[in-house]
Structures are given as structure tokens and as C-alpha cells.
Amino acid sequence: MEESLEKQTDINSYSPLTLAFMGDAVFEIVIRERLVRLGNRPVDQLSKEKARLVNAKIQSKMVVLLQGEFTEEETAWFKRGRNADTHSKAKNAPVQDYRKATGLETVYGYLYLTGQTERIRELTDKGLELLDVHEFA
């Protein structure tokens, strides 16, 4: 994306759930990219690793560890996403985990749509390090 969304549209005009929708995809693609860069492996192995890392439980743990790393703006977006009324139930996670994961996805969506992709990588690196996910060390 050559031009960030912020230059085209006021990012504050988007609902936190719209940003979370985008952030969900961003989080998954960042994890997939990291898995692929570790080396060529069978797709079923890659899929299992992706599923282990891309879920509400892991995202919830990650956000708890990362909250001290968030800027004021990121914290505000996290809280907006966490507190948003999703009108849906978590499929495989407790409600608290689902809400925290939605908050993290909101931050990722905000960062992506404002062109802050390097910050996404910084947060992901730090989060995986704090989670002690050895595959990415």
C-alpha cells in the first residue's frame, strides 16, 4: 500500500471492529510470513503451527505482555477494541480472551491502515519473545 489510509480517510472514522477485521488478517499474515521464512516445510506442518499461534488465547496472552509496550494511541485503540460490542460469541475461547484478542487486532488494524508496518513487526517480535515462542528465536 503506497499511501496510508490516514492520508486518505480519518482513521478515527472507523469503528474498532472494522479495524479488528483488518488486524485479524494482518496478524495472521505476519505469523504466516515468519513461519515460511523459517524454511520450507510441509503445508500441513505450517498450518498446524499457524493454528497454534493465531488464536484468541495466544493473542490474549500476547496483549497482556505487550500492554506496557503500547504507545498512548495504541492503548486507546486496544481499549476501544476490547470494549466494543461484537454481537458474536467467542467460538473456542473465554470471553475475556476473545475481547483482549479483539483489542490486539484493533491495534494491528490501526497500525496497518496508518502505514506503521514496522511497528507491527516490532510488537510481534516482542510479543513472541515474551511468550517465549522458541520457533521464532
Looking at the domain assignment, is residue 72 inside a domain? Answer: yes
Reported pTM = 0.88
Angstrom distances, CA of residue 73 to CA of 1, 11, 109 = 22, 12, 13
**Tally of domains in the chain:** 1
Distance, in Å, from the CA atom of 18 to the CA atom of 105, rounded to the nearest integer, reads 10
Find the Cα–Cα–Cα–Cα dihedral 61, 65, 70, 72, rounded to 10°: 90
- Classify 116 as helix, strand or coil: coil
Q: For residue 52, what is the domain's CATH number? A: 1.10.1520.10
Domain of 127 in residue numbering reads as 8-136
Catalytic residues: 24
What does the DSSP assignment read for 9-52?
Answer: S-GGGS-HHHHHHHHHHHHHHHHHHHHHHT----HHHHHHHHHH
Q: Is 77 exposed, middle or buried (0-12, 13-18, 19+ CB in 10 A)?
A: buried
Looking at the domain assignment, is residue 56 inside a domain? Answer: yes
Looking at the domain assignment, is residue 3 inside a domain? Answer: no
Give tens-digit pLDDT for 60-89: 999 999 989 999 999 999 999 999 987 776
Angstrom distances, CA of residue 43 to CA of 1, 26, 130 = 28, 20, 27
Tens place of pLDDT per residue across the chain (137 aa) = 445 544 557 899 999 999 999 999 999 999 999 999 999 999 999 999 999 999 999 999 999 999 899 999 999 999 999 999 877 766 788 899 999 999 999 999 999 999 999 999 999 999 999 998 655 53
Distance, in Å, from the CA atom of 84 to the CA atom of 99, rounded to the nearest integer, reads 8
Looking at the domain assignment, is residue 74 inside a domain? Answer: yes
Q: Across the chain, which distance is largest between two alpha carbons, in Å? A: 42
